[in-house]
Amino acid sequence: ETGVTQSPTHLIKTRGQQVTLRCSSQSGHNTVSWYQQALGQGPQFIFQYYREEENGRGNFPPRFSGLQFPNYSSELNVNALELDDSALYLCASSLGAGPLNGYTFGSGTRLTVV
C-alpha cells in the first residue's frame, strides 16, 4: 500500500506569483485535506476535498483554491503569493472524513516566498 506523496518537496517563489502543489492520496483513500504549517506552529486546516468537491474550508482567502481528480489525487493552488504564505504545506488523505481510520499525512512541500 502506497502512502501519501507530495510534490515538489521544496519551492521558492516570488511575491505575486502563483504556485501549484500536488498530492497523491494513499491507496484506498477518497478524501484529501490540505494544511498549512507555519514555523513553530501546529498545522492549520485549509480545505478538504471529497469526490472532487470542496467539503469544508478553513479561514483562508479565496486565492487558496484546490482540485481533486477522479483518481483522488489533488492540487492546491495559491494565487498572488504573499510573504506570509511561506510555510510547510501538508496533504492528508483519509477514507471519508476520517472518523474511523484517522488521517495519513505526506512529507509536505516547503514553500518559500521572497
Nearer to other proteins among residue 55 and residue 73 (C-beta)? 55
Nearer to other proteins among residue 18 and residue 112 (C-beta)? 112
- Identify which of 82, 73, 74, 72 has the alpha carbon closest to the alpha carbon of residue 111: 82
Nearer to other proteins among residue 5 and residue 20 (C-beta)? 5
Write down the least CB distance from residue 25 to other proteins, Å. Answer: 14
Say if strands 31-37 and 44-50 run parallel, antiparallel, or are unpaired: antiparallel
Phi, psi of 63 (to 5 degrees): -70, -10
Write down the least CB distance from residue 110 to other proteins, Å. Answer: 7
